[in-house]
A and B are shown apart, each in its own frame.
Chain A
């Protein structure tokens, strides 16, 4: 069953809050991991591994390097779930 964009966004929000300690209210599809949310390269690995577990998808490293925004991550997971 394909996941909805809303469900994935909600899940990603939970993960980013846990990893980076950011207020959930500022996390949105257009926000950039590095520039807007202060998620550095090490924390990004944590986000990816947690997302893989949560949504049962595999996110290859070459895809991670293309994920600039929350929306990039959400769309990848929706399209590959």
Chain B
């Protein structure tokens, strides 16, 4: 029996570049930065005073009463999933065949910290009864599942900055395994708050380029000095191919494979020889069945940290061999910042759109390319991708040594 095939039929997002997918994609191709100085009072106390906040505040598109029961990460999830579901044509489906797999790296950390402040200042009786549903990391997935009445299963993989990609892979398997015909999947994150920022800053993981925030996220540049914290999220509607065809759905691209490995090396640092990444790429390509000659694009994890970018590039080169020469590599975190658990999701959307429009987005802020980076980086302006069957990879890694690689292929009707 042939394997059930999975396609992408809907996209939704709210990101530092735009309040939806079309505005985000347009800003991405234009090479715009979503990174800005923070205006909050607490920011002035920090060693890092900037981040990539969403371009459109949830309050601009969501009712106040709904907002007060949802953590900011859950607000992003609802905004992006509504766009994605509508984009998919709001399909009529047996709800027992509809699932949700939406990740978050940290969960409702802002709610947790805000309610702790309430506890300390006003006492336990004043703590909101919505605290627990708002802080639980499965809250974004659960709220989407409730709205869509999904009954095939609602899941939340957690693997730090690989979470969003792991969610998409989990969704792929759920459809392949015949647990569902449609899965709403992706990842969200809302952690721009003084505590997580102070924690990341203490690890020396964040860029400290306070005088030029829009230049701070500079993957592959010699002077990169850390990542830029971002917020937002992305949601994809994955659907079994025959189901999508039967209802005449618009098909953006096909999801054809995933590879998962772990480093077993360090809680936060990447394994310098990148063996776990290399194996994950190989597993993903084997799973996908795409020919190496078809792989023309890769959306890199590339967070702009000194160690991570080079280790990743070396691992990719090792996995793809001489075929790396025809892969256009884009590091879109140069524009969006790092959305942690949302990163793998928005970057999956970027891969899907790159295949659909046959256009690889640029990488900005490379003034002096690090000589140790041997992959072909798309710099400053987008690059046209070839006609015919083509494939793209999205790799994501998380603190803890999690490696996730996804493979997408252009869809030919």
Number of A-B contacts (CB under 8 A): 19
Residues of A near B128 (CB, < 8 A) are 46
Contact A42 B130 (CB under 8 A): yes
Minimum distance in angstroms from A55 CB to a CB of chain B? 15
List residues of A (27-81) whose CB comes within 8 Å of B's CBs: 42-43, 45-46, 49, 52
Interchain CB contact (< 8 A) of A21 among B65, B125, B129: B65
- The distance in angstroms between the C-alpha atoms of A20 and B63, with both chains bound, is 11
Minimum distance in angstroms from B128 CB to a CB of chain A? 7
Is B368 close to A, CB under 8 A? no
Could you give, for residues 116-133 of chain B, a 1 whenever the CB lies within 8 Å of some chain A CB and a 0 otherwise? 000000000110111001
Minimum distance in angstroms from A57 CB to a CB of chain B? 13
Residues of B near A49 (CB, < 8 A) are 125-126
Contact B126 A21 (CB under 8 A): no
Residues of A near B63 (CB, < 8 A) are 21
Is B266 close to A, CB under 8 A? no
Residues of A near B130 (CB, < 8 A) are 42, 46
Closest to B64 in A: A21
Minimum distance in angstroms from B89 CB to a CB of chain A? 29
Could you give, for residues 1-36 of chain A, a 1 whenever the CB lies within 8 Å of some chain B CB and a 0 otherwise? 000000000000000000111000000000000000
- The distance in angstroms between the C-alpha atoms of A14 and B349, with both chains bound, is 43
Residues of A near B125 (CB, < 8 A) are 49, 52
Residues of B near A42 (CB, < 8 A) are 69, 129-130, 133
Binding site of B, secondary structure by majority: helix, strand, loop or mixed?
A: helix
- The distance in angstroms between the C-alpha atoms of A11 and B28, with both chains bound, is 49
Count contacts on B: residues with CB < 8 A to the other chain: 11
Contact B129 A45 (CB under 8 A): yes
Contact A20 B129 (CB under 8 A): no
- The distance in angstroms between the C-alpha atoms of A21 and B66, with both chains bound, is 8
Contact A20 B126 (CB under 8 A): no
Residues of B near A19 (CB, < 8 A) are 65
- The distance in angstroms between the C-alpha atoms of A6 and B360, with both chains bound, is 65
- The distance in angstroms between the C-alpha atoms of A43 and B68, with both chains bound, is 11
Minimum distance in angstroms from A48 CB to a CB of chain B? 9
- The distance in angstroms between the C-alpha atoms of A49 and B126, with both chains bound, is 7
- The distance in angstroms between the C-alpha atoms of A42 and B65, with both chains bound, is 13
List residues of B (108-155) whose CB comes within 8 Å of A's CBs: 125-126, 128-130, 133
Closest to A21 in B: B65
- The distance in angstroms between the C-alpha atoms of A75 and B65, with both chains bound, is 27
Residues of B near A20 (CB, < 8 A) are 65
Residues of B near A52 (CB, < 8 A) are 125
Contact A46 B64 (CB under 8 A): no
Minimum distance in angstroms from B111 CB to a CB of chain A? 14
Residues of A near B129 (CB, < 8 A) are 42-43, 45-46
Minimum distance in angstroms from A63 CB to a CB of chain B? 15
Minimum distance in angstroms from A12 CB to a CB of chain B? 17
- The distance in angstroms between the C-alpha atoms of A19 and B66, with both chains bound, is 10
Minimum distance in angstroms from B351 CB to a CB of chain A? 39
Q: Taking each of B69, B126, B130, which has the highest tally of chain A beta carbons within 10 Å of its own beta carbon?
A: B69
List residues of B (47-82) whose CB comes within 8 Å of A's CBs: 63-66, 69
Closest 4 CB pairs of A and B: A21-B65, A45-B129, A42-B129, A42-B130
B residues with a Cβ closer than 8 A to A are 63-66, 69, 125-126, 128-130, 133
A residues with a Cβ closer than 8 A to B are 19-21, 42-43, 45-46, 49, 52
**With A21-B66, A42-B130 already in contact, 17 other A-B pairs whose C-beta atoms are closer than 8 Å:** A19-B65, A20-B65, A21-B63, A21-B64, A21-B65, A42-B69, A42-B129, A42-B133, A43-B69, A43-B129, A45-B129, A46-B128, A46-B129, A46-B130, A49-B125, A49-B126, A52-B125
Query: Can you name 11 A-B residue pairings with CB atoms under 8 Å?
Result: A19-B65, A20-B65, A21-B63, A21-B65, A42-B69, A42-B130, A45-B129, A46-B129, A46-B130, A49-B125, A52-B125
